[in-house]
A and B are shown apart, each in its own frame.
Chain A
């Protein structure tokens, strides 16, 4: 993008403009995402508890409810306990939000649509998401309230423990793909849904469920929301927070929910590659011109966002269905079940790929697996009455598709 701006303005300004565009887009994913998810949470919880949820604000379905909440939160008084550590109390929500936002830097939304193409994307996201706990710990500590401190300590113990099985689970798809680059992992799963890594072998299928459990725990969602257990700790780590500072904590929480779901979508569910390769049928690839490639990428982005949103809705479903665990049960789940299971699945996946290689994703040219099936479809369509759309689809040959390299957005 910086190269594009470079044509019109001086180079230093071009980089600044490109950076601002990226930052603006990513910030909006988190902010608008949080608005939508808070509304969705209310509707989902309403349905599960056999009530309606918000119905009035904004006409149908109360879809402007989150905005009304936001206005209410902005107008609230910003209070701070007298004994609080003022600097840390103020800084804590922003630390959480920064960590959550940073994860989006390396999260590709479509083929090559990533703000910062790092070749260790998975690792970067895991590392940055691990920092979110600092906001909670420091916020709980700086509040000078025992409820907050208890919540923060629980959060610290929980997140540090759950990072271990989560890391082990993430290694399994990385191992099969032989890549830490999220864009390339996504590209490998192009085509039919049978190319998704979750259907690669039964062990990775089981790994996904362990990953999702650990991800739910690491973003501090029920049934693992011990840090804010309102039945015991008033409101846990954010007891003393109010107004906008409180809502920043929640923006960070919803941001990380979407980020871990997006990571799951890329690692296990093919990322932006749909269950059916619709964009390739329509010829919306980079070979058919920049506009077609852009449209295809845009559809891929919608696909990706849809999958990640499904993950978030799944988390909501779990939250409103299962009761909260006790702290000893949380630690037991992690240390006695998740960690050994993840380790066994990891070793099993190693053995599986070694002894039963089957379709090796690494040796498969990117997106080639479905080509025969797709070409059959294109040939069948060429004989039919509608050559307009399908003839365009038949154009990109196998070789040209394999050659196509991802357009990487400049940082």
Chain B
């Protein structure tokens, strides 16, 4: 019998799950079901991270996107729902617009992914054995986020060793951006006191 490469098998399985449920999110009309499909899709993406040996990123994906964002999403749907099962109908114009945007993004991402020479022909058994011997840890990534590219310290070229400030600036920009969004959300969602309503009560 043909030997099975479990790594490839699980990669295909998780990718298939992620893609199928992502399509289901788009096609479904019930909001809570959409959220459920999104859980499965994001969970499968987390599985892909675990498969790549990026445990921290995978757990992060589960905790923030699946465990945090989606719980709040479902919670919001349940709080605001008017009827028992709300369904959303998408109009034809929205479909075209969404397909156009998604198509542009896809057209951008696929050439970008395939243009990296280092990402080609990696799934050989020798390479995978090497991955198993030297599992990647989250430490270099975390150090990169707080401003030190420890993975670049061994770089021979002095020019490339410069500019190793890491990802501190983008990280901070994203954090401040999130803070702005939070403040904005709190402003929009605050209880608006209506003078008229109070007068009516009196």
Contacts and interface: CB of A to CB of B under 8 A. Distances in A.
Contacts, number: 92
Contact of A156 (B43, B55, B78): B78
Given A10-B3, A123-B59, A127-B59, A133 B71 contact: yes
A24 interface: no
B105 to A, nearest CB: 28
Interface string B121-142: 0000000000000010110000
Given A11-B3, A12-B3, A134-B71, A126 B55 contact: no
A123 B55 CA distance: 9
Q: Which of A10, A11, A119, A163 has the most CB of B within 10 A?
A: A119
Interface in B1-33: 1, 3-6, 30, 32-33
A304 interface: no
Contacts of B109: none
A402 B131 CA distance: 27
Contacts of B43: 131
A120 B33 contact: no
B163 interface: no
Interface residues of A, number: 35
Q: Which of B50, B75, B135, B138 has the most CB of A within 10 A?
A: B75
A118 B63 contact: no
A149 B135 CA distance: 44
Contacts of A149: 78
A124 interface: yes
Given A120-B55, A124-B59, A141-B74, A88 B36 contact: yes
Contacts of B78: 137, 141, 149, 152-153, 156
A159 B67 CA distance: 10
Contacts of A91: 36
A128 B59 CA distance: 8
B74 A120 contact: no
Interface in B59-76: 59-60, 62-63, 66-68, 70-72, 74-75
Contacts of A126: 63
B11 to A, nearest CB: 14
A156 B70 CA distance: 11
Nearest to A129: B67
Interface string B65-98: 0111011101100110000110000000000000
A120 B84 contact: no
Contacts of B6: 12, 15-16
Contacts of A157: 75
A127 B74 contact: no
Interface in A109-131: 118-120, 123-124, 126-128, 130-131
A88 B36 CA distance: 8
B39 interface: yes
B63 A130 contact: yes
Interface of A: 10-12, 15-16, 83, 85, 87-88, 91, 118-120, 123-124, 126-128, 130-131, 133-134, 137-138, 141-142, 144, 149, 152-153, 156-157, 159-160, 163
Given A123-B56, A163-B67, 6 more contacts: A88-B33, A128-B62, A130-B67, A131-B66, A137-B71, A156-B71
Interface of B: 1, 3-6, 30, 32-33, 36, 39, 43, 50, 55-56, 58-60, 62-63, 66-68, 70-72, 74-75, 78-79, 84-85, 135, 137-138
16 contacts: A12-B3, A16-B6, A85-B85, A119-B56, A120-B55, A124-B58, A130-B71, A131-B43, A131-B66, A131-B67, A137-B71, A138-B32, A138-B74, A152-B78, A156-B74, A157-B75
